[in-house]
Structure 1
């Protein structure tokens, strides 16, 4: 294919159709590059997807984002889905504490913010937070000021665990449970002892201490597949991207005279066995898959990709015969339950209520049988929600993502590679790459920006970072 001026059109192949790959493909296509996107699954969206269960449309897990997630918000705008995943007007997280009191009614607290300047925007909410003592609330304020002074560029932060830092700054076990881990487990997919201080500081400084509205929560009011598959595919088609699903890539090898050959394999696709010539390749797949596809010499230390561990997330899904929760979501203390979301409207359920219980850092439960999880979580939901007592349970099922995120352990920062490799024309994308963010939808989209920007520079295309004006 040639351009209007008679030159050969540059061709980029993006391997992987998750948020990182979709973002990279859109960025490259918007800059005038011819793009082919290859995805092994029968859908786009990576690990943030939906599926059908009878009459329900079910998300594999609950995903939220914050107002400070400017890259994911760009993604929503780009696929014309922002109105389908609105953000709270103002941060408000209900926190129910059953405190091991048996059948006693759960005590309600709230994590809220005001419109006051940072850090005063959190002060009234913290002062009224009933799950901490007055002394513990004062200690949180002191730790927040210390956190604000940390330099995120300091490499020493990556080698320290968050729990050690919290202990040094006077945080009690209760304070860690009722505040720091309440937020940190959901965003980092790790408890404080297992989380890098660098990533934890990044989350709390950006989300809670950058601007008053940074931590306001947004979530999809429709199935994730509507956003990350249906609307994303429409945007890719409109941008001129050739998208091939059910297409496994067997190898990426150097071509004579530069560039790469991408051998497309797989099944049930019309490009099976086709060799695609590409000027640039973006590997937007999990780290182990990327390691298997990397040509020799592409990274100085390719084995480090295999040292980036995975962390699981478990989701428990319960369909009740009646309404048992009046809030859109809540977090829990004193219970194995972490976060509960009402997914009734998004699922298409018209009678009863469908709740999704999102359990991060679920290493101890990821392989637990459904029957045992049912025996554990149904009574816990009844402790938290009196209206659930005696309610008909129409369905109970579990989704497990054993490799939901990379583990944000101390030292992981030195293992995460940049987008650009040593092989000219070959780039990496994925939330596990060196974005500075934990494994979130925001991190995935940012990695797509990084890979596409590096590829466009290598191809000689002028481009502007999508968040340049917002940064």
Structure 2
């Protein structure tokens, strides 16, 4: 069979599915991408609210996210989501007994681990003894192997306690980063995943933790530019198309049924959340498919506030001593152009707030923003709304590693993709893209197609 005759169906149009479809098409496979929503992008998307273009949530990536950076390059979107020149995170503590204090987590040009030493030495939210203890814990963390299965069964908080980290240190440093990247506190996080985040982001290369984010709506990247790239690659994309079953025909080929047609394929990639994948898996595809149902989920709440004037002069900041976690200025990307300012609060580990009425959340968060931002105290709130992702990520709890499955199933020609699969990363855009690449290259190898892996090329 020639490469041109190979047919693949990718189920799911999030970052994992789009990645798999592009990589398969670039290798000469005829690809059909099926997505039930009216757009691409999965859980990183935009929508209209009046004149505003709103992201459902604030998504960032780091310089070490080589797969997502490849994805941005592949869809010609890298210039629209630039990275900081150097890591610089303002951290405002409004719970300090002497009043609000601003600290910064930023790197220098020195080699690892000295690149963060100066910032840590001046970090005002920890005592001198706590800062010294952080340095010792960081050195111990560098010695861990995140791929060690033994680490998967331990929680990060216990390890931190054994290495001299006080509750305040966990709150003001380790959880400040971990909650945003893992969507879990240290006590709820697998040591293996936490070690992976901190080793890769903070202790691998000098600039690994430099932060990037979209300066345009996410839909411009993950939907519009992605769809253009898929079209150019020859992928047939069908939106508003729900897959009802995936089965193996008597001739060995795959059949993917939708509500309107049945597609034949040599290869199928299920790039959907774990519960949806479980529902579509044919019998015998996995030895223990119910493990997928044991992978928990964690919510993220996003609070959106539009003021009648500028109240924040930084692009973003993190907060301590308040329920507010991270605040981003989304004014320009939303299209707001009348002198007001649009702030987005990203609230991970949002179990307590995810189902609260908007009125309750308004009473909770507007006073907190006034505590953090004095300029907000006299500003008029033009709009206040929330977006809720109840199953935003998989829960990175201890033991989750043994539940995450790799790209290959037990049935030839059927592959899994999604941030929840066994990428070694937590549920991030990076993990999603890595999973799509893994599924595509496993499929190409089975088809006898040999194509250089883009991450190996980058290395």
Answer yes or no: same fold by TM over 0.5.
yes
TM-score w.r.t. structure 1 length? 0.96
Q: Do 1:311 and 1:404's aligned partners in 2 also have CA atoms closer than 8 Å? A: yes
Cα distance in 2 for partners of 1:292, 1:155 equals 28
Deviation at 1:256, TM superposition (A): 1.3
SS in 1 for 2:5: coil
SS in 1 for 2:170: helix
Q: Do 1:105 and 1:384's aligned partners in 2 also have CA atoms closer than 8 Å? A: no
Which aligned runs of 4 or more in structure 1 are off by greater than 6 angstroms?
Answer: none
What is the aligned partner in structure 2 of residue 317 from structure 1? 304
Cα distance in 2 for partners of 1:128, 1:436 equals 33
What is the aligned partner in structure 2 of residue 369 from structure 1? 357
Work out whether 1:450 is the aligned partner of 2:446: no
Cα distance in 2 for partners of 1:153, 1:161 equals 15
Deviation at 1:264, TM superposition (A): 1.4
Q: Do 1:100 and 1:335's aligned partners in 2 also have CA atoms closer than 8 Å? A: no
What is the aligned partner in structure 1 of residue 32 from structure 2? 36
What is the aligned partner in structure 2 of residue 158 from structure 1? 152
Cα distance in 2 for partners of 1:386, 1:209 equals 36
Q: Do 2:4 and 2:28's aligned partners in 1 also have CA atoms closer than 8 Å? A: no
Residues 168-204 of structure 1, C-alpha deviation per residue, up to 9 Å, x if partnerless?
Answer: 0000000000000000000000000000000000000
Pick one of 75, 97, 105 that aligns with 2:71. 75
What is the aligned partner in structure 1 of residue 424 from structure 2? 436
Cα distance in 1 for partners of 2:166, 2:8 equals 52
Work out whether 1:216 is the aligned partner of 2:210: yes
Work out whether 1:285 is the aligned partner of 2:276: no
User: What residue ranges of structure 2 are gaps of 5+ in the alignment?
Assistant: none
Residues 50-97 of structure 1, C-alpha deviation per residue, up to 9 Å, x if partnerless?
Answer: 000000000000000000000000000000000000000000000000
**How many residues align structurally?**
458
Q: Do 1:14 and 1:25's aligned partners in 2 also have CA atoms closer than 8 Å? A: yes
Deviation at 1:154, TM superposition (A): 1.2
Cα distance in 2 for partners of 1:461, 1:148 equals 38
Matches within 5 A, 1:31-430: 31-99=27-95, 106-265=100-259, 272=260, 274-351=261-338, 352-430=340-418
SS in 2 for 1:316: strand
Q: Do 2:413 and 2:446's aligned partners in 1 also have CA atoms closer than 8 Å? A: yes
Deviation at 1:257, TM superposition (A): 1.8
What is the aligned partner in structure 2 of residue 467 from structure 1? 455
Cα distance in 1 for partners of 2:404, 2:117 equals 36
SS in 2 for 1:417: coil
8-17 vs 419-428, which moves further: 8-17
Cα distance in 2 for partners of 1:313, 1:411 equals 22
Q: Do 1:72 and 1:441's aligned partners in 2 also have CA atoms closer than 8 Å? A: yes
Instruction: State the Cα RMSD in Å.
Output: 1.0
Cα distance in 2 for partners of 1:280, 1:77 equals 26
Deviation at 1:259, TM superposition (A): 1.9
Cα distance in 2 for partners of 1:164, 1:72 equals 31
Q: Do 1:105 and 1:383's aligned partners in 2 also have CA atoms closer than 8 Å? A: no
Cα distance in 1 for partners of 2:458, 2:230 equals 24
Residues 249-285 of structure 1, C-alpha deviation per residue, up to 9 Å, x if partnerless?
Answer: 00000011212100012xxxxxx2x111000000000
Cα distance in 2 for partners of 1:53, 1:311 equals 26
SS in 1 for 2:306: strand
Residues 423-451 of structure 1, C-alpha deviation per residue, up to 9 Å, x if partnerless?
Answer: 10000000000000000000000000100
Deviation at 1:470, TM superposition (A): 2.3
TM-score w.r.t. structure 2 length? 0.99
